[in-house]
Amino acid sequence: MKISASIQSQFNNQQTSVQTNGKKIELPLKPSGFGSAINGGELLLLSLATCFCNDIYREASKRSIVISDLRVEVTGEFGGEGDPGANFKYKVDITSEAPQGKIDELIRFTDQVAEVHNTLRKGATVTLE
């Protein structure tokens, strides 16, 4: 799977998009006219929440577990300019007719295989080209 993100920014004209395997989605412009309406920290946390959400459904399907409601809330802290984020945590709440023990096992397993989570846990290298 090839994923990319791009921004082309000018006053009152910003094209921010993400693309996976050729499917493109554009993000909204900030009301000031410069930058995205969503900041990078928000997108990072949304990335963690989205990854877990998609992966829990994938893993539930493999186990024939039907999830009727799912809530994933990710929090983190960012300090001053240039400071890395810290204290990333997430909570999961699942409604299902499956026994609680199976849901708890599903959550723990999915936490171990969630790709974005594992990328951050490993410590990704970011290189300016």
Domain ranges in the chain are 1-38, 39-129
| pLDDT tens-digit map of 74-117 | 999 888 899 998 999 999 999 999 999 999 999 999 999 999 99
pLDDT score at 31: 83
Q: The domain 39-129: what is its CATH number?
A: 3.30.300.20
Q: Which two tokens stand for residue 105?
A: 């096992």
Report residue 96 CA to chain centroid gap: 23
pLDDT score at 38: 78
What are residue 110's phi and psi, to 5 degrees?
-60, -35
Using CA atoms, how far apart are residues 20 and 129, in angstroms rounded to an integer?
Answer: 21
Predicted TM-score (pTM) of this structure: 0.82
Q: What is the DSSP letter of 129?
A: -
Give per-residue burial for 90-129: e unless 16+ CB within 10 Å, then b: bebebebebeeeebeebbeebeeebebbeeeeeeeeeeee
pLDDT score at 120: 95
Distance of CA 92 to CAs 24, 76, 103, Å?
28, 15, 10
On the question of pLDDT at 1 being above 70, the answer is no
> Which residue has better confidence, 36 or 63?
63
pLDDT score at 7: 65
| pLDDT tens-digit map of 15-42 | 777 777 888 887 777 888 788 777 888 8
